[in-house]
């Protein structure tokens, strides 16, 4: 095949595959079989490999993923992503309608009612018909560019067919996980002992943030579009533009209505409140928008949301089962959660058998007794909650509930700290769910990032007695792991499933463990999982005190000089470090080769102007104090916590306490300003 022929064929296949994708995923009207589709895709993949010069960023081969994003790039939104005013009440909706009419006296008003899709908001940016960015909402001003992952969503066009679209425009919409995909994913997770997602929204959001787009491509995500933005819009009203966008290939659901009165709006709401379980995806309400852009402009916006739109949220669905018994679950932090076991009832399309009771206070407040009829409600979470007891149905002699006094997992007496609602099992290092929880935290992405050892595998290693704490991970070997297994019962089919560690699994685990030895000290400190030592605090501690030994020997006063470290954190650190077993754990991790000293993590060396110079930074600067400290390190200098005669400079910002200045003067340490510092480093 000549290059020219290859180019033509690639173009042809790209067009065909995009067309069939649209027929299948947007129109639900496929023209060819899956097998035929796969063959075309394979041919295109093959040609693109052979002739990479013709591989297009808009190619449908991107859909299967492969790109791995370590960290998502933050991007500023061109048009800020505002949110909507929310309401559950019909009166509020009437008020909204009256307000709109008052602000537009004498004008005719047309409303568009749409479904409120329950997923993750996304902005898709198109340049000359090519999808160039996909940005999450973030804080509304800037979000993460998750383009590689979004390209795997089959219903989103990567490249538009020829058409009358603006050269530069954005589509906004919601990424959702259809309920069937959600249930499949959770079943898969449960089968290997992993915790499922609470609801399809969380599953969509978790999937979108995965690093490996090939994984995302398997999650069956969908995207429903509801808003077109551009400086050159084809029409001057919302409905007409959305209809146009549908022609360009976007999945804009047809479930929209033009309404001219509040009664029409209520009719739409009631119809969908009753019919929403029949949709393949979750909706949590209805969005009502003023159609005309001229009117939208006149109505304007508040600081947070436009005045021309409102979201009406459906009330949670309720059912009334009986309370059979209460069980108790111990979480990773040792917190004990009561769970109600109920007679099975149908609620919002699923059978409910259990409900969360939160904590002892909630049980006491509800005054719930075994045998009571209770009202359960399903809000955003998959686990419903009990909101009240139906006292009219209470029969005599119901046994009131006394919260357990001992841990159901390990038998230790529970404790409750002042001011806290939860009872805790204090047996941190001997209680199975707490040990597993700590290990799962240790291997998680922002900690030691050993993803080859996902949740289910930790469980298997634990159950086989191979790990009892995080240091044991580094004692694992091929001999110990090969062939170990765990049997699960598939919840749906009741069949037994065996998960066994094979050669490849073991190899991946060992590689992951080895790679974790390069994880910087601040992450190691976070991974250890000391209460209140989160990511930020760990990084401050590492940067400030620099070595694990310095942290171990630091006094409370020294700890308190570290930014972000207050009484609660300092005390938690000190009491954790006071336990011999914990110090031994650190020693074992150090012996295994983990980093226990602050290196030059994340700091690019710009110059060595400040080589050998130590700085104490105090007060408020034109940029954050952390950025100032980073600049010091970038130029070869060193940050120290407190002033001593060995300190070279006190870098003083605004509002620095007088004590620091006094001490510096006394010890002959020069005090410099931000400007002087900037001159120093040129």
Binding to ligand IVH by CB under 6 A, coded x per residue (else -) over 334-373, reads: ----------------------------------------
Least separation in angstroms between residue 287's CB and ligand IVH is 4
Q: Which of 26, 93, 121, 288 binds ligand IVH (CB under 6 A)?
A: 121
Question: Is residue 652 within 8 Å of residue 673, measured between CB atoms?
Answer: yes
Residues numbered 242 to 261 that lie near ligand IVH (CB under 6 A) are none
Residues numbered 181 to 240 that lie near ligand IVH (CB under 6 A) are 226-227
Q: What are phi and psi of 15, to 5 degrees?
A: -60, -45
- How far apart (Å, rounded) are the C-alpha atoms in residues 175 and 208? 9
- Residue 510: alpha-carbon gap to chain centroid: 27
- How far apart (Å, rounded) are the C-alpha atoms in residues 330 and 325? 17
Least separation in angstroms between residue 173's CB and ligand IVH is 7
Among 444, 631, 442, 445, which Cα is nearest to 71's?
445
3-class SS shares of the chain: helix, strand, coil, % to 5: 40, 20, 40
Cβ-based burial of 455 (10 A; exposed 0-12, middle 13-18, buried ≥19): middle
Q: Which of 206, 306, 371, 408 binds ligand IVH (CB under 6 A)?
A: 306
Nearer to ligand IVH, 81 or 610 (CB): 81
Residues numbered 138 to 177 that lie near ligand IVH (CB under 6 A) are 174
Question: Is residue 133 within 8 Å of residue 124, measured between CB atoms?
Answer: yes
Residues numbered 473 to 532 that lie near ligand IVH (CB under 6 A) are none
312 makes contact with ligand IVH (CB under 6 A): no
Q: Is the dihedral of CA 36, 38, 43, 47 positive or negative?
A: positive
Residues numbered 72 to 111 that lie near ligand IVH (CB under 6 A) are 82-84
Residues numbered 542 to 601 that lie near ligand IVH (CB under 6 A) are none
Report the 10 Å Cβ neighbour count for 542. Answer: 27
Cα 227 to Cα 42, 170, 391, distances in angstroms: 35, 8, 47
- How far apart (Å, rounded) are the C-alpha atoms in residues 499 and 152? 29
Least separation in angstroms between residue 311's CB and ligand IVH is 6
Least separation in angstroms between residue 589's CB and ligand IVH is 42
Nearer to ligand IVH, 174 or 222 (CB): 174
568 is catalytic: no
Q: Say if strands 649-652 and 671-672 run parallel, antiparallel, or are unpaired.
A: parallel
User: Active-site residue among 102, 116, 365, 662?
Assistant: 116
Pick the stretch among 114-122, 527-535, 591-599, 642-650 that binds ligand IVH (CB under 6 A): 114-122
Least separation in angstroms between residue 148's CB and ligand IVH is 21
- How far apart (Å, rounded) are the C-alpha atoms in residues 337 and 359? 6
In 348-426, DSSP assigns E strands to 350-356, 369-370, 374-378, 385-389, 399-400, 423-424
Residues numbered 264 to 293 that lie near ligand IVH (CB under 6 A) are 287
Least separation in angstroms between residue 86's CB and ligand IVH is 7
Nearer to ligand IVH, 309 or 368 (CB): 309
Nearer to ligand IVH, 174 or 428 (CB): 174
Contact residues: ligand IVH, CB under 6 A: 82-84, 114, 116-117, 121, 174, 226-227, 287, 306, 309, 311
């Amino acid at each position: 095949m000549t290059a020219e022929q290859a180019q033509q064929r690639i173009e042809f296949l790209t067009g065909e595959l995009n067309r069939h994708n649209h027929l299948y995923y947007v129109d639900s009207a496929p023209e060819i079989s899956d097998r035929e589709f796969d063959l075309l895709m394979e041919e295109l993949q093959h040609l693109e490999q052979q002739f990479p010069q013709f591989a297009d960023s808009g190619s449908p081969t991107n859909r299967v993923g492969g790109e791995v994003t370590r960290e998502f790039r933050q991007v500023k939104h061109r048009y800020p992503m505002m949110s909507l005013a929310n309401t559950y009440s019909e009166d509020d909706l009437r008020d909204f309608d009256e307000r709109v009419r008052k602000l537009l006296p004498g004008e005719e008003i047309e409303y568009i009612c749409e479904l409120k899709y329950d997923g993750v908001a996304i902005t898709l940016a198109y340049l000359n018909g090519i999808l160039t960015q996909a940005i999450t909402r973030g804080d509304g001003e800037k979000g993460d560019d998750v383009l590689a992952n979004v390209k795997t969503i089959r219903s989103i066009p990567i490249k538009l067919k020829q058409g009358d679209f603006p050269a530069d425009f954005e589509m906004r919409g919601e990424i959702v996980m259809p309920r069937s995909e959600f249930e499949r994913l959770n079943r898969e997770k449960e089968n290997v002992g992993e915790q499922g997602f609470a609801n399809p929204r969380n599953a969509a959001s978790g999937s979108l943030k995965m690093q490996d787009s090939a994984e995302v491509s398997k999650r069956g995500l969908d995207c429903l579009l509801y808003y077109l933005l551009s400086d050159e819009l084809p029409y001057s009203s919302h409905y007409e533009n959305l209809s146009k966008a549908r022609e360009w290939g976007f999945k804009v659901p047809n479930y929209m209505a033009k309404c001219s009165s509040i009664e029409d709006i209520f009719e739409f709401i009631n119809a969908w409140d009753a019919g929403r379980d029949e949709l393949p995806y979750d909706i949590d309400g209805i969005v009502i928008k003023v159609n005309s852009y001229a009117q939208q402009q006149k109505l304007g916006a508040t600081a947070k949301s436009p005045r021309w739109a409102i979201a009406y949220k459906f009330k949670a669905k309720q059912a009334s089962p009986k309370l059979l018994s209460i069980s108790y679950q111990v979480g990773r932090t040792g917190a004990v959660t009561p769970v109600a076991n109920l007679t099975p009832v149908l609620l919002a399309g699923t059978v409910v058998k259990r409900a969360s009771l939160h904590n002892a206070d909630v049980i006491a407040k509800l005054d719930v007794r075994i045998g009571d009829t209770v009202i359960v409600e399903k809000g955003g979470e998959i686990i419903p909650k009990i909101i009240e007891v139906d006292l009219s149905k209470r029969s005599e002699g119901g046994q009131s509930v006394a919260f357990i006094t001992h841990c159901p997992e390990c038998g230790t007496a529970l404790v409750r700290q002042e001011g806290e609602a939860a009872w805790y099992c204090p047996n941190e290092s001997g209680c199975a769910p707490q040990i597993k929880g700590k290990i799962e935290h240790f291997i998680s992405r922002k900690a030691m990032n050993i993803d080859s050892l996902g949740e289910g595998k930790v469980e298997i290693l634990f159950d086989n007695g191979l790990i009892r704490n995080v240091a044991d991970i580094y004692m694992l070997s091929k001999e110990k792991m090969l062939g170990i297994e765990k049997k699960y019962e598939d919840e749906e089919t009741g069949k037994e499933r065996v998960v066994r560690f094979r050669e490849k699994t073991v190899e991946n685990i060992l590689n992951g463990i080895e790679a974790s030895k390069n994880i910087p000290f601040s992450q190691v400190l976070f991974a250890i999982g000391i209460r209140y030592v989160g990511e930020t605090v760990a990084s401050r501690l590492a940067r400030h005190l620099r070595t694990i030994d310095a942290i171990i020997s630091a006094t409370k006063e020294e700890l308190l000089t570290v930014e972000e470290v207050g009484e609660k954190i300092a005390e938690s650190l000190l009491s954790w470090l006071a336990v011999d077993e914990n110090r031994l754990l650190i020693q074992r991790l150090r012996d295994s080769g983990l980093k226990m000293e602050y290196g030059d993590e994340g700091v690019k060396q710009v110059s060595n102007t400040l080589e050998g110079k130590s700085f104490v930074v105090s007060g408020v600067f034109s940029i954050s104090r952390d950025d100032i400290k980073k600049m010091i390190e970038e130029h070869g200098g060193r940050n120290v916590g407190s002033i001593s005669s060995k300190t070279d400079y006190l870098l003083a910002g605004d509002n620095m306490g007088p004590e620091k200045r006094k001490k510096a003067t006394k010890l002959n340490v020069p005090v410099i300003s931000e400007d002087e510092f900037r001159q120093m480093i040129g």
